[in-house]
Amino acid sequence: MSINLLKGKKGIIFGALDENSIAWKTAETVHAQGGTFVLTNAPIAMRMGQIDELAKKTGSEIIPADATSEADLDNLVAKSMEILGGKIDFVLHAIGMSVNVRKGRAYTDEKYDFTTKGWDVSALSFHKVLQSLYKADAMNEWGSVVALSYIAAQRTFPDYNDMADNKAYLESVARSFGYFFGKEKKVRVNTISQSPTPTTAGQGVKGFNNFISYAEKMSPLGNASAQDCADYTVTLFSDFTKKVTMQNLFHDGGFSNTGVSQEIVDKFSE
């Protein structure tokens, strides 16, 4: 349903890999709602994914950038403003990875240079993105920056490993940077704590499919899909959420406030 919610708005979308990814669905939805944007991803992710297809579909340009590199991000911000013809209204940060998870290292047996790399990509990169935008004065007033998080930042999910620490850091950056960005530039900064979602990144976590069905049974409204998340993100990019900032917004069908559901109780009384 297009109601031109983002007509005239311009932005940057990080992290679209393939059509399962939340960033991909968000790009399609932003496009349907009249927004224009630049797509960006790390060169290696671009080789793995199908971002060219998305660029064609949405009439967007792609600027490769390593989100851990300040030089790459400064270049991305400058070029995006050039391409889009002015300041930016919205940014989606949808990137994260854990080398420890990839290499099968347990949380109690982290290899710390893996930890540092994962933290840089998943969490510190959000600060770097915000700082590049802030220093370049690249955001329009009432602009909106959103990053994707997960409830493992607050609660323990054993297999989520060091990504839980990365997400906790990410959420803290949104609050801390959100204060300065709001005070000085009227820009909103929020994180969305999304249901477990069968994206390429999500499926790297051990026992993920079982966990998705557990979350589905625990959530009164069921899990939020990647498309649901894209729709929610678009509301946060729109002018209807102007005073929402420094929040971690649970988008999980009610999972975060459910102690136990009847389905789970029934499962255990079988």
Token duo for residue 106: 């347990």
Residue 95 counted as an annotated binding residue? yes
Residue 22 counted as an annotated binding residue? yes
Residue 15 counted as an annotated binding residue? yes
List the beta bridge partners of residue 144. Answer: 90, 188
Residue 63 counted as an annotated binding residue? no
Residue 21 counted as an annotated binding residue? yes
Give the torsion through C-alpha atoms of 175, 132, 66, 163, to 10 deg.
-10
CA–CA separation, 69 and 28 (whole Å): 27
CA–CA separation, 122 and 102 (whole Å): 14
The catalytic residue positions are 150, 160
DSSP 179-224: HHHHHHH--EEEEEEEPP---TTGGGSTTHHHHHHHHHHH-TT-PP
- Could you list the residues known to form a binding site for NAD(+), using ranges: 15, 21-22, 95, 167
